[in-house]
Chains A and B, each alone.
Chain A
Amino acid sequence: MSRIGVFVCHCGENISATVNCEKVAKITGELKGVEFATDYKYMCSDPGQTLIKEAIKEHKLDGVVVAACSPRMHEPTFRKACAEAGLNPFLCEMSNIREHCSWVHPKDDLTTEKAQDLVRVMVEKVKKNKALNSIKVPVTKTALVIGGGIAGIQAALDIANCGHKVVMVERQPSIGGHMSQLSETFPTLDCSQCILTPRMVEVAQHPNITLYTYAEVESVDGFIGNFNVKIRKKSKSLDEDLCTGCGLCTTKCPQKKIPNEFERGLGMRPAIYVPFPQAVPNKPVIDRENCTYYIKGKCKVCEIVCPTKAIRFDQEDEIIEVPVGAIVMATGFDVLKPDFFPEYGYGKYKDVIDGLAFERLASASGPTQGEIRRPSDGQIPKKIVFVACAGSRDPAKGIEYCSKICCMYTAKHAMLYKHKVHDGIPYVFYMDIRAGGKNYEEFVRRAIVEDETQYIRGRISTIYEKNGKLIVKGADTLMGAMPVEIEADMVVLATAGVANHGAEELAQTVHISYDPYKFFAEAHPKLKPVETNTAGIFLAGACQAPKDIPESVAAASGAAVKVAALFSQDELTRDPLVAVVSRQAPPVYSQCVGCFLCQSVCPYQAIEREEIKNRNGEVIKTLARVNEGLCQGCGTCVALCRTKAIDIHGYSNQQVYTEVMALLND
């Protein structure tokens, strides 16, 4: 005979507004096998948990049902409370009467009845629950950081400085990310390169960090504490040990007309190149798609001039396997493609550029050595129109969100322009100025008051080119929406920040979820902002949503702490809700017939072969066995097992059957 306790939570008014909680406790208290039932305003609070603990002791409960919210948040809370009272935590279950009941139904007797049904079902299940023990798995204390921008750099350094090993993978030939492209940074106007490059160097020199540039993650298997990662190190066509980074090859390469991605196409680069002078590692790669040798089979100038004979034309991609215990995603963002703004002539007119291109124009190391010169003819523009919300907050174009960073960098651009071209007039077309952040609002005011930027509240309708000028047609919504026409020399679009290219594929490779915009999804928008729904994989920076530098760095440090906390344990305990193959006494040994259909469908490679031998050491039966460390309890094997030899702890066929029958036998 069971002695089950039922604890009904009001969740403030979240449940009690539509469900009569007292009644639920009273009615379910009368169920067979229920020894004690009560309701309370906040069951998850300290007094609530104490109430459960004391009831367990006082009534000698052997099972607990907490009727409250979804188990996602508080199942661990209540199981821990039960364990503290001496009850095996897996004898505690939650009945979800909030999301499944009170939130979705009106205040009605039927709603209360449904809550009673949900509790009753769980009471029947708990009767079949068994005490289980947590599984212990070892932890590989190496972290993988994917992406070498400021977020990845920060996370890698923080983890490495805690004494753990880090493997960093960067797709580009150099780390640094978008921050290395920026001229100066808001709200302090300090030079981006000056604060970033020391950190890039630190990454390269840190004894705990292994850096793979020009590399991508190929596959990820395993689980928290025990991931197995395959990295494709793309061929750089270079022996990096021999190369001294002298740069002779890059100056002698005859192919010099490749639009430089780092300069947003405003400059050219050769086929063998270092993306920018401060690159880390400062060694070139050959861009095989544009290299004359790879296209035509002739050239090899770089090989001839290389003083250390480091060029390797026949070098192949290399696959590296690394075991890691945690993964930090820091793959950053991208900006919108030109085809997004046919009405603004973006991609059609050379002098309509995006914010990143303007950063390059303003950068001392950029294609104009920091002089603001327009791309079409190199003239210094006397009027620049900056367009905020170019794509952001534009549901018609498919982007509803605010890109968050544009208000600030647009103010910065206007400022930098004014500082460099004193007689120039910067105009900013904006919808709202969103300058929430330390010293941000003050910064924008400075751009308006001190640097005399003309802020016009309105969105541009169209831009067209005429006689070397860009005619910008807007409206001033603070002047009765009267049309405004500006003859500008250059236009800078604050294009929306979007998920980096390949984000969706990468999310699928590492098995994490992502939102409709392909940004990686956090586990909880408020309380788990750097965790993903996949244990052991964390988020840092703008791969999650557009973020500025301080936010990216903060998130990266947050993710690093999560990794360090994980690595502070020598082994991990996991819920034992895993599949198990039935065992019986000889001569049957098991219902399992050894067909291994389960092995072929298991997504986690958790099914092993177990041989049963007789005294002579001869194999008399081969059975499936579940590796508890690998099994995630998904249940695919259970559904497919033809002899019903596999079951899942905590969700056995019998338990689920009991639940269904409890509903049907009302």
Chain B
Amino acid sequence: MIKVGFYPGCSMKGGAQEYQESVSALAKVFDIELVEIPDWNCCGATAAHNMSKELSLSLPARIMALAEKEGITDIVVPCAACYNRLSLVKHEMAGDPSLSSKIASIIDMKYEGTTQILNIIQFIDKYITDRLEEKVVKPFDYKSACYYGCLLVRPHSVLKFDRVEDPQSMDVLVKKAGGKAIDWAFKTECCGAGMSVSRTDTVARLSGNIMKDAVDRQAEVVVVACPMCHSNLDMRRPEINKFLGEKIDIPVLYISQVLGLAVGLDPKTLGLNRHMTEVKFPAKPVIEAPVAEVPKKVSTTQNMEA
């Protein structure tokens, strides 16, 4: 059993419980124990860096300081927003020792900056990818639009993760899970992020454009790695459809859920039942031999929740 530090962040304890459930379940399949940082606090998210620079530095600094105290070196941060905040704070403090000591005195803790912050894909690549294909039992055979959003890849100068334009890391994982990653244009366009409540109309427009491009290019599912993206694309679907004037009903899955399905975990363990937009996929004709007849009548959808 490999132990890896884990920072779930607030949304995984609330609106994005299924993300934590699926990450944990997936880790378990690969004999990885996620060790939650004890007594962790919120990273401050958009609110902190909009309103107070010190707060936006102090809150993530405390999280990393707590991890250091526990001797944790790798912290998995599945929420892209938290990953972004932690990485940026680590970077800024590393480049400015006087700022670093000022923040250390605000949080009243020792801070070294020695922890490694891993996003969900970096975590999978470091601990799981090598063993992934051998464990795939139910290929995730759907046309997937991998949606990276903003915070996973930007700013590239700090995060240095994947390509900033047309990233590929999630596409590679989906392919390894047996899926087909479609080429589309909105991989890194913003979904509206933290404006979900305060500017719902903005979110409907931005997320609507994303969903529309995915569907226009025949995507059967959108795959994400961020609870904010998920809630905007999934929970805000009624507003999206109202904005678009059409009914888009393809599901939005976390990458951990996609891989979980592929390695044979059941939908409920992965929290698929928690999505606001029902998780269902177009039925695939079962072809047993190359010459076998394709069933004339197939139901158009298979319900994953059942």
Contacts and interface: CB of A to CB of B under 8 A. Distances in A.
B163 A465 contact: no
B165 A466 contact: no
A501 B299 CA distance: 58
A349 to B, nearest CB: 10
Given A466-B213, A466-B216, A342 B185 contact: no
11 contacts: A342-B163, A342-B164, A342-B165, A342-B166, A343-B165, A348-B166, A464-B185, A466-B185, A466-B213, A467-B216, A471-B185
Given A464-B185, A471-B185, 11 more contacts: A342-B163, A342-B164, A342-B165, A342-B166, A343-B165, A348-B166, A465-B185, A466-B185, A466-B213, A466-B216, A467-B216
Contacts of A467: 216
Interface of A: 342-343, 348, 464-467, 471
A364 to B, nearest CB: 36
Contacts of A464: 185
A579 to B, nearest CB: 51
Nearest to B184: A464
B209 to A, nearest CB: 11
A485 to B, nearest CB: 11
A471 B185 CA distance: 10
A290 to B, nearest CB: 29
A461 to B, nearest CB: 11
Interface of B: 163-166, 185, 213, 216
B205 to A, nearest CB: 13
Contacts of B165: 342-343
A342 B216 CA distance: 22
Contacts of B213: 466
Nearest to B213: A466
In the complex, the 4 A-B pairs of residues with the closest C-beta atoms, listed nearest first: A464-B185, A342-B165, A343-B165, A342-B166
Contacts of A348: 166
A348 B165 CA distance: 12
Contacts of A465: 185
A389 B164 CA distance: 21
A465 B166 CA distance: 13
A291 B166 CA distance: 36
A568 to B, nearest CB: 56
A466 to B, nearest CB: 7
Contacts of B163: 342
A466 B185 CA distance: 8
B41 to A, nearest CB: 36
Contacts of B216: 466-467
A245 B166 CA distance: 48
Contacts of B164: 342
A658 B297 CA distance: 103
A146 B184 CA distance: 46
Contacts of B166: 342, 348
Nearest to B164: A342
Nearest to A471: B185
A466 B216 CA distance: 9
A191 B99 CA distance: 63
Contacts of A471: 185
B163 to A, nearest CB: 7
Contacts of A342: 163-166
Nearest to A467: B216
A348 B163 CA distance: 15
Nearest to B189: A462
B167 to A, nearest CB: 10
A565 to B, nearest CB: 51
B12 to A, nearest CB: 32
A396 to B, nearest CB: 9
B280 to A, nearest CB: 26
Nearest to B165: A342
Nearest to A465: B185
A342 B156 CA distance: 14
Nearest to B217: A466
Nearest to A341: B165
A65 to B, nearest CB: 50
A465 B217 CA distance: 11
A348 B216 CA distance: 19
Contacts of A343: 165
A467 B216 CA distance: 9
A513 to B, nearest CB: 32
A466 B165 CA distance: 17
A355 to B, nearest CB: 22
B210 to A, nearest CB: 12
Nearest to B167: A342
A155 B213 CA distance: 55
Contacts of A466: 185, 213, 216
A466 B186 CA distance: 11
A148 B281 CA distance: 62
A488 to B, nearest CB: 14
A471 B164 CA distance: 19
Nearest to B183: A348
A471 B216 CA distance: 15
A464 B216 CA distance: 14
B202 to A, nearest CB: 14
A343 B156 CA distance: 14
Contacts of B185: 464-466, 471
A348 B184 CA distance: 12
A534 B290 CA distance: 72
Nearest to A396: B157
